[in-house]
Amino acid sequence: MASVPDIEKKQPTRIAVVFPGQGSQVVGMTSELAETYPEIRDTFTEASTALGEDLWAICQDEEKLGQTQYTQPALLTASIAIWRILKQKISSKPCYLAGHSLGEYTALCAADVISLADAVTLVHKRGQLMQDAVVGVDTAMAAVLGLEDQRVENLCEQAAEHVDDAVVGAANFNSPGQVVISGNAAGVTAVVDKVKNTGKKSIPLKVSVPSHCALMEPASSALAGILAKITFDQATIPVIQNRHARVESSAAGIKQALTEQLSEPVLWSKTMQELADKQINVLIECGSGNVLSNLAKRQAQPITSYPTDKPARIEKLMEVLS
């Protein structure tokens, strides 16, 4: 793969910004950035006021940060705080935005479709709905490594058909050879056992709710009613959404995609391919950690990606873009 300097000699820099989802949170996220950039604490204050919860304190509390209804607004706020820093530093407007699962809401907020106040309130409620949907249910998620997407889907279908009370499906198509499955414990365990029989491996994920599967359908229905009451404005930057890996141009289309996203899989590999097809050659991960940057390396057409969760990483990005 060509280096960024080689790419820049041949064609203009085309930037996309991507926002991470649940699982990227870490205790104390953005604390190092806050020492340099006042935008961090200012953004957390704004979001905390809107939500009525001290999101900065939640980011320092491992137990609370692990609860879905708090994880989601905390992560969104962290990403928007970094986005506000980058907007002042990057001279070229990004061509596209995208977000992984929860990160899609962050992308829409960054694109001025929804305000920060509406966004944190919305994802807080989304987290509550997700938690409520599986009260009393033994749930699980696992990353399956080394199998083709269709093979994983087939294993999920077989488990759901042959194992009593099993609910399981592909939740995230993250990169070639990495598919996350989600459902109840019986369904996920059945698929994990089948994966072992193929000689491939799976990794259990520590999550509080099984995202993007049929168990989330009650939450999806309730979310639709909440979304209907929120004003969505025209995007200032196109957002590629998870549901179909495409840009939805109307408010109704965006809301429908968000509703379906909760119980349908995240098409991240297709989203990344869409960005590659649109000649994106610099990917900026805006948020906690570098999960999406690592996934970018594993795509069929990798795009050089830069995380921005530390001052040194932002400095490196600025060097590249200059």
- Local structure of residue 93 (DSSP, 8 states): P
Which of 24, 48, 79, 101 is catalytic? The answer is: 101
Q: Is 101 a catalytic residue?
A: yes
Which helix (H) or strand (E) covers residue 285, if one does? strand 282-285
Q: Is 3 a catalytic residue?
A: no
- CA dihedral defined by 114, 237, 46, 220, rounded to 10 degrees? 40
Estimate to the nearest angstrom the gap between the alpha carbon of 298 and the chain centroid.
17
The CA–CA distances, whole Å, from 308 to 78, 80, 97, 103, 270 equal 11, 12, 15, 15, 23
Rounded Cα distance, 73 and 109, in Å = 12
- Local structure of residue 249 (DSSP, 8 states): -
Within 8 A by CB and 6+ apart from 226, the residues are: 122, 125
Q: What is the CA radius of gyration of the chain?
A: 19
- CA dihedral defined by 237, 314, 176, 263, rounded to 10 degrees? -50
Write the DSSP string, 144-200.
Answer: EESS-HHHHHHHHHHHHHHSTT--EEEEEEEETTEEEEEEEHHHHHHHHHHHHHHT-
Which neighbouring-strand residues pair with 140?
183
Which neighbouring-strand residues pair with 310?
none
**Which token pair is 194?**
């089948």
Rounded Cα distance, 271 and 100, in Å = 9
**Which token pair is 229?**
């009451």
β-strands 96-99, 178-184 pairing: unpaired
Which of 79, 124, 212, 269 is catalytic? The answer is: 212
Which neighbouring-strand residues pair with 8?
none
Catalytic residues: 101, 212
